[in-house]
Every structure is written in structure tokens, then in C-alpha cells.
């Protein structure tokens, strides 16, 4: 039987491959010459939370809003969006969050929104500058004031103004598309909204064009009437007044 000859690596003559010729000036696609500096990035509006991504900022925003840096902006042109509002208000400081309120069904602006600044000083400056500011033919309504403290709702009731005998406001000249949620969103900035109700026709189910908003105290009613009467909501200037309770006949 022929003997088997085992081949080891020492007995093999490997083929020596020529080394590739690489030019000394060759750059890989991932290398950046030191002589070239990256182009700096510019942002029109720096780090503003817009309404479409609020869920990413809820923790931080809630703490800022509690400090009372939030502004109500009414009578907005309908095509003005979050970014437009942010650009406008950043001239007064650092804009933290912007939210234009839209109709859920047709995604049309309801003509109002909210802007949160990073400090009380900036919020006051923005309210002073933009309340009455004309934007594309419309005079903005900008109101600023710290939201009512939760502790105030459990304090002894204060003596109410003589001209206010109810905690409810009447809201008239409403657009047919305004619902309870929209009414609450508009009015909650001025106090603790206990109830917001649009009245509908029982037979047709169509809005009757008016509603009522109930607050926790008369001070909030006074603030809402003073700030929101005449504000444009869905293309209509709403009428806001103190609701007169029905007289009881003896």
C-alpha cells in the first residue's frame, strides 16, 4: 500500500499577491479633510415644542405652565400655524411651546392658540407687545396671567363683586362647528372650568349657536368676560357676558 504523504504548510509554496497601489492623496468616503470646516446649522426657531409633538415634552411643559408663563393668543388669521406663531413671539424671548387649536374633523384653525414663554418677564413683554398687534389685517388678542392656584379652590370664598352674581358666562354667536371641548379649551386659560356646554336643537341635533361655561368662582368669570368678549372663534366674533340666572316667579 502506497504510503500517504501528509502535506504541511511548510511544504507548500504560497502565491505572493502584489500589494495594491493606493495613492497617498486618496481619501475614504468617510474621512473629512482637516482643511474643510463643517457648515454651521441654523434654526429659524430654536427648540420650540409644537402642538404635533407635545407628547415628547409633557413633563417639562407642565412644570413651565404651572409657573404661569402661558399666553392666550386670539383672533389669529386661519392660515397661521404653530411655527408662524413661534417666529413672531420669539422676538420677545425664548418660546418654549406653541399650540394653535384646530378643528378635529377638518383640521382648520379655530382662530386661537397658546404660547408658553420661558419666564414671567418674557410673557409680560410678549403680552404688552402683541396685544392689539395687527397681523395680516387682524388685531391679535393676547392675554397673560398666571393660572389660578389649585389651593385657591379650597380657601374661604371671597366676597364677590356686586355686578357678578353667578359663576357662569353666556357665550353667544358661536360657529355651528364649535363643540363642548372647543369651548372648554378656549375658556380654561382664565380659570377652573367646571362645565362647558354648547346647546343643541333636540330635533335636528344642530348647534343653536350659544352655550354656557361655568367657573369655580366669580373672579374667573370676570376675567373671561373681559378677555374673551369679541374674540374670533371659527370665523365669528363671540359674545361673552355674565349669565343671568332665570328669575323665579313666586
Q: What is the mean pLDDT of each run of 10 residues along the chain (250 residues)?
A: 47 54 49 42 47 43 56 89 93 92 82 90 93 91 60 37 65 91 87 90 90 90 89 89 71
Residue 84 lies in a domain: yes
Please tell me the distance from the alpha carbon of residue 97 to that of residue 70, in angstroms, as a whole number: 9
Residue 11 lies in a domain: no
Pair (54, 119) in one structural domain? yes
pLDDT at 185: 86
pLDDT at 40: 36
Residue among 129, 160, 154 nearest 142 (CA): 129
CB atoms < 10 A from the CB of 241, how many?
13
Q: Are 142 and 72 in contact (CB under 8 A)?
A: yes
pLDDT at 173: 94
Q: How many domains does the chain have?
A: 2
Where does residue 52 fall: left (phi above 0), alpha (psi -120 to 50 degrees), or beta otherwise?
A: alpha
pTM check: above 0.85 = no
Please tell me the distance from the alpha carbon of residue 161 to that of residue 176, in angstroms, as a whole number: 33
Residue 59 makes CB contacts below 8 A (sequence gap 6+) with none
Residue 225 makes CB contacts below 8 A (sequence gap 6+) with 169, 240, 241, 242
CB atoms < 10 A from the CB of 149, how many?
12
pLDDT at 51: 52
CB atoms < 10 A from the CB of 169, how many?
25
Pair (157, 122) in one structural domain? no
Q: Are 236 and 175 in contact (CB under 8 A)?
A: yes
Residue 118 lies in a domain: yes
pLDDT at 20: 54
pLDDT at 103: 80
Phi, psi of 225 (to 5 degrees): -65, -45
- The β-bridge partners of 74 are 112, 141
Domain hosting 215: range is 152-250
Please tell me the distance from the alpha carbon of residue 141 to that of residue 131, in angstroms, as a whole number: 5
Can you give the CATH number for the domain in which 174 is found? 3.30.70.330
Amino acid at each position: 500500500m502506497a504510503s500517504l504523504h501528509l502535506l504541511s504548510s511548510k511544504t507548500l509554496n504560497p502565491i505572493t499577491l502584489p500589494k495594491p497601489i493606493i495613492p497617498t492623496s486618496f481619501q475614504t468616503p468617510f474621512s473629512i479633510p482637516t482643511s474643510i470646516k463643517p457648515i454651521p446649522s441654523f434654526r429659524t426657531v430654536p427648540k420650540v415644542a409644537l402642538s404635533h409633538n407635545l407628547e415628547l415634552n409633557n413633563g417639562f411643559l407642565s412644570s413651565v405652565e404651572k409657573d404661569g408663563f402661558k399666553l392666550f393668543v386670539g383672533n389669529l388669521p386661519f392660515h397661521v400655524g404653530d411655527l408662524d406663531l413661534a417666529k413672531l413671539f420669539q422676538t420677545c424671548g425664548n418660546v418654549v411651546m406653541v399650540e394653535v387649536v384646530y378643528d378635529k374633523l377638518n383640521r382648520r384653525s379655530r382662530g386661537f392658540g397658546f404660547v408658553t414663554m420661558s419666564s414671567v418677564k418674557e410673557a409680560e413683554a410678549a403680552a404688552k407687545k402683541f396685544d392689539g398687534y395687527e397681523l395680516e389685517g387682524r388685531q391679535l388678542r393676547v392675554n397673560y396671567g398666571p393660572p389660578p392656584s389649585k389651593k385657591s379652590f379650597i380657601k374661604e370664598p371671597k366676597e364677590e363683586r356686586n355686578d357678578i352674581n353667578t359663576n357662569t358666562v353666556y357665550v353667544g354667536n358661536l360657529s355651528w362647528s364649535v363643540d363642548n371641548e372647543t369651548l372648554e379649551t378656549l375658556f380654561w386659560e382664565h380659570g377652573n372650568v367646571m362645565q362647558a356646554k354648547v346647546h343643541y336643537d333636540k330635533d335636528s341635533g344642530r348647534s343653536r349657536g350659544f352655550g354656557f361655561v361655568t367657573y369655580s368662582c366669580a373672579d374667573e368669570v370676570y376675567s373671561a368676560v373681559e378677555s374673551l368678549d369679541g374674540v374670533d372663534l371659527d370665523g365669528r366674533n363671540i359674545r361673552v357676558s355674565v349669565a343671568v340666572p332665570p328669575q323665579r316667579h313666586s
